[in-house]
């Protein structure tokens, strides 16, 4: 006679995000919104304080992208200098 197995043996519920295809869909949405923001950028009058905010097209987007890369990559490089074992201070 077979005993009904406890829930542990049951295959775990499959989540929507477990599917790489769905993750790619989300990335697709992000790219689409970014493209839309670039297009919109040319078609409205900005109320800004600094001249280059207006004269430089997609200033905020470019700045955000580059700043992000600069931060992450330089932090990664910084790691070579600063990284120690987890128990460094406990020894």
Partner 1 sequence: MIAEGLNPALILIVGGLLAPLLGGRVRAVFMLALPLLGIVQLCGMDYGSGGIVQIFQLNLITLRLDGLSFVFALIFLIASWLGVIYALHQRDTMQDVAALVYAGAAIGATLAGDLITLFIYWELTALGSVFLIWARRTERATRAGLRYLVIQIGSGVLLLAGATIHLRATGSIAFDHLGLDAPGGLLIFVAFGIKCAFPLLHNWLQDAYPEATVTGTVVLSVFTTKLAVYALARGYAGTEILIYIGATMTVFPIFFAVIENDLRKVLSYSLNNQLGFMVVGIGVGTELALNGTVAHAFCHILYKALLFMSMGAVLFRVGTAKASELGGLYKSMPLTAGFCIVGSLSISAFPLFSGFVSKALIMTAVLEEHYPVVWLALLFASAGVLDHSGIKVPFFSFFYHDSGKRCAEAPANMLIAMGIAAAACVALGLFPQALLYPLLPHAVDYAPYTLTHILTQSQLLLFAALAFVTLMKTGLYPAEIPSVNLDFDWFYRRLLPAASARVWTLALRGWEAFNAGAARRVEALIAVLSRHHGPHGLLAATWPSGSMVLWAVLLLGVCLVFYYL
Contact assessment for residue 65 and residue 37, using Cβ atoms and an 8 Å cutoff: no
Please state the closest distance from residue 1 (CB atom) to partner 1, in A.
30
Token pair listed for 29: 């949405």
Token pair listed for 20: 């790489």
Phi then psi for residue 58, to 5 deg, are: 50, 40
* Chain Cα centroid distance, residue 28: 13
The verdict on 31 binding partner 1 (CB under 8 A) reads yes
Please state the closest distance from residue 43 (CB atom) to partner 1, in A.
10
The verdict on 21 binding partner 1 (CB under 8 A) reads no
Please state the closest distance from residue 87 (CB atom) to partner 1, in A.
8
Distance, CA of 42 to CA of 40 (rounded, Å): 5
When the beta carbons of 3 and 82 are compared against partner 1, the nearer one is 82
Instruction: Give residues in contact with partner 1 (CB under 8 A).
Output: 13, 15, 17-18, 27, 30-31, 33-34, 37, 40-41, 44, 46-50, 53, 58, 60-76, 78-79, 81-86, 88-90
């Amino acid at each position: 006679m077979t005993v009904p197995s406890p829930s542990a043996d049951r295959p775990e519920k499959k989540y929507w995000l477990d599917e790489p295809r769905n993750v790619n869909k989300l990335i697709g949405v992000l790219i689409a919104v970014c493209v839309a923001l670039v297009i919109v950028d040319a078609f409205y009058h900005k109320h800004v304080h600094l001249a280059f905010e207006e004269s430089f097209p997609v200033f905020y987007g470019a700045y955000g992208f580059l700043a992000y890369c600069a931060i992450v990559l330089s932090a990664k490089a910084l790691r070579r200098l600063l990284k120690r074992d987890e128990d460094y201070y406990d020894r």
